[in-house]
Amino acid sequence: MSYRTALIIGAGVAGPATAMALRKIGVDATIYERYPTSAHGVGGTLGFAPNGFAALETLGLRDAVQKIGVPAPRMAMFNGAGRRLCDIDLGTAASVWVTRPDLYRVLHDEALRRGVPVEYDRRLVDVDQTAGGVVARFADGSEVEADIVVYCTGYKVTFPFFDEGFISAPDNDLPLFRRTFHPDIPNVFFVGLLQPLGAIMPIAEIQGEWVSDYLAGRYALPSPGALRADIEAERRKMFKRYVASKRHTMQIDFDDWLVATAKERKAGAERATGALPVPRRADSTVAA
């Protein structure tokens, strides 16, 4: 079966790239974006490895992206205490770091130059599959037919091992204290459920140590009121810096998080009394 038309949902980085790739094989692609304007100037930094540049090569955009990036021929790894673990000469596997705003600008502008239509303020609400393709319905009441629909809308955070009424993240939003502690559930913790501007491994290591201190009674959380106030202050700061969207609900800055968490762990150690926040389970015996 051959496709002639495609609806691309989402005009971020993936949307324009997907539309240009489809047009190279003869598929007429149109991008639909829920926000009323483009996202110029929004986002952090990301790295392109050789496989990423291979993808850009197929779009004819390798040189354009290399020009806006900074080569990273070496990589150093540190643990959560800041100790250098290793240095790696990447050689032919060297990556290039670019800011998302610059990458977005290159892809967005090139897609427009190539004639890819982009329609803003078009929020998708439903898609029906028909015998001949798909029908997309938008919040403004309009409908668009096409052969296929491609979602370039990011990810969806789910916890299939929990009942939805117990823990869920509607619109990818799960407020946590420093992205680690749930404000209402004392014995469920989160490690790595965040998007750092920086490496995630040292942060996950510190989260694990922090939770261990908490369970051992060496750290105590702030009062419920102070804890919730801290969560709300962190969220206000995050939503002010990033676009308020499903894509940016768990962002942190690597250095800021490390400094703030170190101070909080010290304060929590002073609050701690040695009492265990989660009681030990009674020892069980098994009959012979």
CATH of 5-151, one of 3.50.50.60, 3.40.605.10, 2.30.40.10, 3.40.50.300: 3.50.50.60
Please report, for the chain, the start and end positions of each structural domain, with discontinuous segments joined by +: 5-151, 170-271
Q: Is the distance from CB of 31 to CB of 144 less than 8 angstroms?
A: no
Question: Which residue in this structure is represented by tokens 């609806």?
Answer: 7
Paired residues of 70 in beta bridges: 97
The span from the CA of 194 to the CA of 263, in Å, is: 20
- Res 76: pLDDT: 84
Q: pLDDT 10s digit of each residue in the chain, 288 long? A: 578 999 999 999 999 999 999 999 999 999 999 989 888 777 778 888 888 889 999 999 999 999 999 988 888 877 767 788 888 888 766 789 899 899 999 999 999 999 999 999 999 999 999 998 999 999 999 999 999 999 998 778 999 999 999 999 998 999 999 999 999 998 999 999 998 877 888 999 999 999 999 999 999 999 999 999 999 999 998 888 776 677 788 988 888 899 999 999 999 999 999 988 888 765 444 444
Q: Is the distance from CB of 230 to CB of 177 less than 8 angstroms?
A: yes
Provide DSSP, 209-265.
HHHHHHHTTS--PPPHHHHHHHHHHHHHHHHHHS-SSTTSSSEEEHHHHHHHHHHHH
Q: Which residues contact 135 (CB under 8 A, 6 or more apart)?
A: 127, 128, 143, 144, 145
The span from the CA of 211 to the CA of 29, in Å, is: 48
